[in-house]
A = this chain, B = another copy of it.
Amino acid sequence: MLERIHLEILTAIKEHGTLTKAADSLHLSQSALSHSIKKLEGQIDTPIWEKDGRNLRLTAAGERIQAFAARVLPQFLHTELLLGQIARGEAGSLRIGMECHPCYQWLLRVIQPYLEQWPGIDIDVKQEFQFGGIGALLSYEIDVLITPDPLFKPKIEYIPVFDYEHRLVVSNTHALAAQDCVLPEQLSEEVLFSYPVEEQRLDIFSQFLSPAKCSVKQHKIIETTEIMLQMVAVGRGVCALPGWLVDEYAKSMPIKSLRFGEQGIRKQIFVGIRKDERQVDHLNEFIEQAKKIT
Contacts and interface: CB of A to CB of B under 8 A. Distances in A.
B67 A83 contact: no
Interface stretch (A84-92, A108-116, A174-182): A84-92
Interface residues of A, number: 31
Contacts of A72: 72, 75-76
Contacts of A267: none
Contact of A2 (B44, B68, B79, B92): B79
A177 to B, nearest CB: 42
Is chain A's interface secondary structure helix, strand, loop, or mixed overall?
A: helix
A44 B1 contact: no
A8 B93 CA distance: 24
A183 interface: no
A87 B61 contact: yes
A64 interface: yes
A164 interface: no
Contacts of A276: 67, 71
A3 B4 contact: yes
A57 interface: yes
A120 B18 CA distance: 30
A65 B44 contact: no
B44 A80 contact: yes
A65 B79 contact: yes
A60 interface: yes
Interface in A196-228: none
Given A1-B4, A3-B3, A45-B87, A68 B64 contact: no
A46 interface: yes
Contact of A93 (B60, B83, B84, B93): B60
A250 interface: no
A82 interface: yes
A140 interface: yes
Contact of A86 (B64, B80, B82, B83): B64
A61 B86 contact: yes
Contacts of A140: 57
Interface string A139-153: 010000000000000
28 contacts: A1-B4, A1-B80, A2-B76, A2-B79, A2-B80, A3-B3, A3-B4, A4-B4, A44-B80, A44-B83, A44-B84, A45-B84, A45-B87, A46-B86, A57-B140, A59-B86, A60-B91, A60-B93, A61-B83, A64-B79, A64-B82, A64-B83, A64-B86, A65-B79, A67-B276, A68-B75, A68-B79, A71-B75
Closest 6 CB pairs of A and B: A46-B87, A60-B92, A45-B87, A44-B83, A68-B79, A61-B86
